[in-house]
A and B are shown apart, each in its own frame.
Chain A
Amino acid sequence: MRITCPYCGARDAQEFSYLGAADPVRPDGMAAAEAAMADYVYLRDNPAGPHRELWYHGSGCRSWLIVTRDTRTHAISAVEPAKVRKAGEAA
């Protein structure tokens, strides 16, 4: 499997480490209800199909990336820097 890093180009997946689903958003610690925190920590959609997930390019540019990969075929349809999402949220 290869992941095309937006900064480094197509690189072997072994250069990256995997964290998991990209979409769960951590509830605000102080305000969050227990149930919302438990959902965030434990529950997953776990789809068979396109999955947005976090990969870290540890042996490259050390960026966090959001990779959209089909869990049935490993075909990757999009790779974007995770910080774009963060910036978007703050705005």
Chain B
Amino acid sequence: MRYSALSLLTQALRGHKGWTPVWRDPAPKAEYDVVIIGGGGHGLATAHYLASRHGITKIAVLEKGYLGSGNVGRNTTIIRSNYLLPGNTPFYELSMKLWEGLEQDLNYNAMVSQRGVLNLYHSDAQRDAFARRGNAMRLAGVDAELLDREQVRAMAPFFDYDNARFPIQGGLLQKRGGTARHDAVAWGYARAADSRGVDLIQNCEVTGFTMVDGRAVGVETSRGPIRAKKIAMAVAGNSSRVAAMAGMRLPIESHVLQAFVSEGLKPMIDGVVTFGAGHFYVSQSDKGGLVFGGDIDGYNSYAQRGNLPVIEDVMESAMALWPGLGRVRMLRHWGGIMDMSMDGSPIIDRAPVEGLYLNAGWCYGGFKATPASGFCFAHLIATGEPHPVAAAYRLDRFASGRLIDEKGVGAQPNLH
């Protein structure tokens, strides 16, 4: 069923009784051309682009829980392409361009909202670093504007500009950045892939690989073995565990990141704002809740929940930036497990095991990457060659020293 204003009106007149399920619930077949492990944003996007751009439709997406139960439904929904390094900028800009046309491509309202992303700076050194990043972005054709304090004040008069320790000096603004409704992104990709014949198989956990002569030719699952010509991993947060089933060790640690939502409030803040003197960012959802985030908890974790010190830290940063939040009540907080890679950048590459493809290491910035990640991963799987904008995301860059380290701090898995 195609969604349109007309279909909505017709259904409204019929009491909304004619809507059909958004995707099928098929049983797994014995064999596929491509099996994708992980029904998060990246796995579903990969299926959509394989089917729509490369004509490969004998695909199964295997998800151990329900579609969107992982990070794609847990993130703080920020999309942006304000990266500094040449290995990253064109990739994230492709992603932004795909976001801009996503709803037409999927015939699904993903609530992509280019409400702007503003990174605040609080010192001369930080301003210089932001100016450099803004210039790198503009050279790569990405929009960026360096704002001074008064320009920021005009946008958001309620921040604490004269904070004794962290006065706000200005900000770097990407107007095309913003937010997208995270669940809708998963559902939109799922529906589009399903409509082209992709089997979305839920409650199907991959428990091992079927190997023949050192080549991966299928997967063992909680719903029986499935053979595949190509196997693609997109299991964010669990990459090390699934890779270990194929005998691989990855340059990744799993860490928990928390997110927070306040009670619903009247419109308070237009775009996304990040505090530059601590790790804190805030935006307001369409329902009115303020959506906050901050640092990862800081130690390896597969528990999908966080601990109290980070909550305290995030709230302290919130108060330093925006004292008016003091009386706001927090409604919920939750955590998601992410692949923190050793340079803070992702991996889209063939695995050393033949027949296996790897999409991992997204850290806590992988939501914005969803369209380009699926697009480039599909390209790699279909053609055997990396997509030009993702060519730097190789697994062997760690051993060869070609790291993509936006922060410039060396081998640390708890960066981005």
Contacts and interface: CB of A to CB of B under 8 A. Distances in A.
Interface of A: 1, 13-14, 18, 20-21, 34-35, 38-39, 41-48, 51, 53, 69, 71-74
A72 B303 contact: yes
Interface string B245-273: 00001111110000000000000000000
B399 A46 contact: no
B336 interface: no
Nearest to A72: B302
A44 B301 contact: no
A69 B303 CA distance: 12
B303 A44 contact: no
Contacts of B398: 38, 41-42
A34 B254 contact: no
Nearest to A14: B309
Chain A interface main SS type: mixed
Contacts of A14: 309
Given A72-B302, A72-B303, A45 B249 contact: yes
B301 A74 contact: yes
Contact of A34 (B253, B307, B399): B399
A35 B396 CA distance: 11
5 residue pairs, one from A and one from B, having the closest CB atoms: A46-B240, A42-B251, A38-B399, A42-B398, A48-B302
B309 A13 contact: yes
Q: Looking at chain B's contact residues, is the secondary structure mostly helix, strand, loop, or mixed?
A: mixed
Interface of B: 238, 240-241, 244, 249-254, 298-303, 307, 309, 342, 398-399, 411, 413
Given A1-B307, A46-B250, A71 B301 contact: yes
A41 B411 contact: yes
Given A43-B249, A44-B240, A46-B250, A18 B303 contact: no
A59 B342 CA distance: 27
Contact of A46 (B252, B309, B411): B252
A59 to B, nearest CB: 13
B344 to A, nearest CB: 13
